[in-house]
Structures are given as C-alpha cells and as structure tokens.
Amino acid sequence: MILPKPEDAKHKNQMYRLLTAILTDNFLANHLCFKGGTCASMRGILDRFSVDLDFDLPDKDEQGPIRERLNDCFDKLGLTIKDQSRQHLQFFLKYEAPEWQRNTLKLEITDLVSPKNTYEPVNLKEINLYCQAQTIETMVANKMYAATARLKKTGSVAGRDFYDLHQFLVQGLPVNREVVEERTGLSYEAYLQYLVKFIQKQVTERVLEQDLNPLLPTEKLKPIIGTLKQELLVLIKDEIKRG
C-alpha cells in the first residue's frame, strides 16, 4: 500500500494490527469478508493510501456475537472506542499518537449485502494472512454503486470513489453487472448513463483534490487532477459502447 506521508506510518500500522487480529480470530475470519479501499490496495489493484477497514457480514444474524468478539480485539490492542453505532457495526477507534497525526481508525461492517456479491479466498501478502474478500468484479461493481450512493447517504461526494473507479476501469477489470443492477434497480447500461450525468454535474477538480490530497503523494496527484474527470467519462462511455 502506498504511504504518501511518513506521519501516516503509525495509522497504517494500527490498521494492520487490527486487521491481523480480526483474521486470526477464527470466528471473525469465518464470518467477515474484506472489501473497500484498503483491501483493493493490499491486493495491488489500487495505488493510493486508504485509512479505513471495511467488511461485509453476509449473515446479519451474527451481528451480536461479532460485536462481542470485536470488543475483545479492541481491548487487547489498546484501542478505545471513540464513537460507535448501536444499530450497525461501525466503530471509530482511537489510538495514542502525537496531536498532529491521525489518531482515529474507522472500522465498518455492513450487513446490507447484495445477494449478488461473490467472494473468494485472498492472500494478503503484506501481513501474510488469508481472508475471504470480495472478488475483484464485485469490488468494482460496488464502487460503481457507491460513487453515486454516497451523496444520498452522507450528503457529500467523495473524490476517492471516482479516482478508484478510474483506476479499476483503466486496468480493464471485470464488473459484476448483477450487483450494479440489484443495488440500483436499473439495467447496467441505464446506470452507466446515469453515472455519466452524475459525474458531469457533481465531480470537480476541487472535490477530487480535497479528498485525494491526504491519500496520494503530491507528485502523483498533480499530473492527473486536471484530466481525471474527462478520462473517467471516456472510460465509462467505452463501457457503455461495449454493452
């Protein structure tokens, strides 16, 4: 995983400590499926820093036991729950760090999982552990959906969603179209048409730069910031043409 700033080394270490604790707990490892930006970065298909841990919980009935096991992990690692959701498995975990550095790690586990998601065993070489993770095509499909859904959920647009989507499409990665259709209620082509209009209206250089600045080195961000939006639109339109 790329590390844009030396002061982020501690945050990365805390993420990997928690991830290791989760994956070496048999109960947690058997029920949780890794996903999101950190997963994509560790699998080598995303070249930016990622600051959160995200998982799917396909069996929502296990939410209670999962919360209990996670609390044990937090205690053993010396992580303090700064905030958490009572309805969902979302935690903001504080660790000791100088005041000018990151000191909070977000862990989010969703049980609102598309029945069309697919998973596979993956070797995370950086920590030398296996996990169940979203397949690449499922990861790309969920990113396509999240790119527009985040605005409805949080009231804001995340530039990293569009950077990630650009990265995935420029590599020619496959898309689980059934996930896109199930989550949006639209045909794959209709959703892509909507996505084009959404990007044209909502994505600006300012949105991209504000979100990506902490996640990419300046020398990597600066050359792409002015062209990313147009390139992404071309990639999506090419996907539409391919049907």
Digitized pLDDT (tens) for each residue of the chain, 243 residues in all: 888 888 999 999 999 999 999 999 999 999 999 999 999 999 999 999 999 999 999 999 999 999 999 999 999 999 999 999 999 999 999 999 998 899 999 999 999 999 999 999 999 999 999 999 999 999 999 999 999 999 988 999 999 999 999 999 999 999 999 999 999 999 999 999 999 999 999 999 999 999 999 999 999 999 999 999 999 999 999 999 998
Pairwise CA distance, residues 102 & 13, whole Å: 12
User: One-letter amino acid identity for 1?
Assistant: M
- pTM of the entire structure? 0.95
User: One-letter amino acid identity for 42?
Assistant: M
pLDDT digits (tens, 9 = 90+) for 151-177: 988 999 999 999 999 999 999 999 999
Angle 205-212/159-170 helices, nearest 10 degrees?
A: 90
Phi, psi of 235 (to 5 degrees): -60, -40
Strand order in the sheet with 119-124: 80-84, 89-94, 104-110, 52-56, 33-35, 129-134, 119-124
Structural tokens at position 159: 């530039």
